[in-house]
């Protein structure tokens, strides 16, 4: 095989790899966008003092469940409390973001070292923690978490 043919083959391999990684990124980002939309709508309902997710969300939840990868899929239902559904959505979103960064080779074992620390201290999941989770996943580090003795004595 000539040098030109080898170079051509290497370029084709690189292009195919790029196409596969773009397709994987789209498979992950589409559910994240759907989750973002659901969370925004749920926050509006929560601010309007609604307690339960209306049944009108059923179709959107079924669609999201259908596009989720099996390893992050959960049963998502309407007519549960808004807080409960939002916690489920934040958890799924965190897993999707962790998969995205793992696929890029940033973290080994599926999560950043911060995630394991936060998980063991009970500081992952829940409403409002997604920003901290996402920031840690993007940067690869997060501010140190207070120990349980610090947080109980400070407030």
* pTM of this structure: 0.53
Q: Helices 113-120 and 130-139, interaxial angle, to 10°?
A: 150
Q: How confident is the model at residue 18 (pLDDT cuts 50, 70, 90)?
A: confident
Which segment of 13-17, 42-46, 47-51, 148-152 scores lowest on mean pLDDT? Answer: 148-152
The arithmetic mean of pLDDT across residues 151-155, rounded, is 45
State the Cα–Cα distance between residues 41 and 72, nearest whole angstrom: 22
SS3 of the chain: the string is CCHHHHHHHHHHHHHHHHHHHHHHHHHHHHHHHHHHHHHHHHHHHHHCCCCECCHHHHHHHHHHHHHCCCCCCCCCCCCCEHHHHHHHHHHHHHHHHHHHHHHCCCCCCCCCHHHHHHHHCCCCCCCCCHHHHHHHHHHCCCCCCCCHHHHHHCC
pLDDT at residue number 153: 47
What pLDDT does residue 16 have?
A: 86
Checking if the pLDDT of 139 tops 50, the result is no
pLDDT at 114 over 60: no
Confidence label for 56 from pLDDT (cuts 50, 70 and 90)? very high
Question: What average pLDDT does the chain have?
Answer: 74
Residue 141 confidence (pLDDT): 42
pLDDT of residue 30: 84
Average pLDDT, integer, range 96-122: 53
Could you tell me which residue, 130 or 38, shows the higher pLDDT?
A: 38
Question: pLDDT band for position 81 (50/70/90)?
Answer: very high
pLDDT above 50 (res 88): yes
């Amino acid at each position: 095989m000539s040098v030109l043919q080898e170079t051509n083959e290497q370029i084709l391999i690189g292009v195919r790899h790029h196409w596969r990684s773009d397709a994987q990124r789209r498979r992950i980002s589409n559910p994240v966008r759907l989750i973002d939309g659901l969370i925004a709508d749920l926050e509006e309902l929560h601010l309007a003092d609604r307690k339960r997710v209306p049944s009108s969300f059923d179709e959107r939840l079924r669609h999201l469940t259908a596009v989720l990868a099996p390893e992050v899929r959960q049963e998502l239902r309407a007519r549960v409390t808004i807080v409960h559904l939002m916690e489920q959505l934040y958890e799924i979103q965190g897993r999707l973001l962790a998969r995205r960064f793992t696929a890029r080779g940033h973290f080994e074992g599926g999560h950043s070292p911060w995630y394991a620390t936060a998980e063991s201290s009970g500081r992952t999941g829940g409403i409002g923690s997604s920003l901290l989770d996402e920031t840690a996943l993007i940067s690869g580090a997060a501010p140190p978490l207070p120990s349980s003795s610090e947080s109980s004595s400070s407030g």
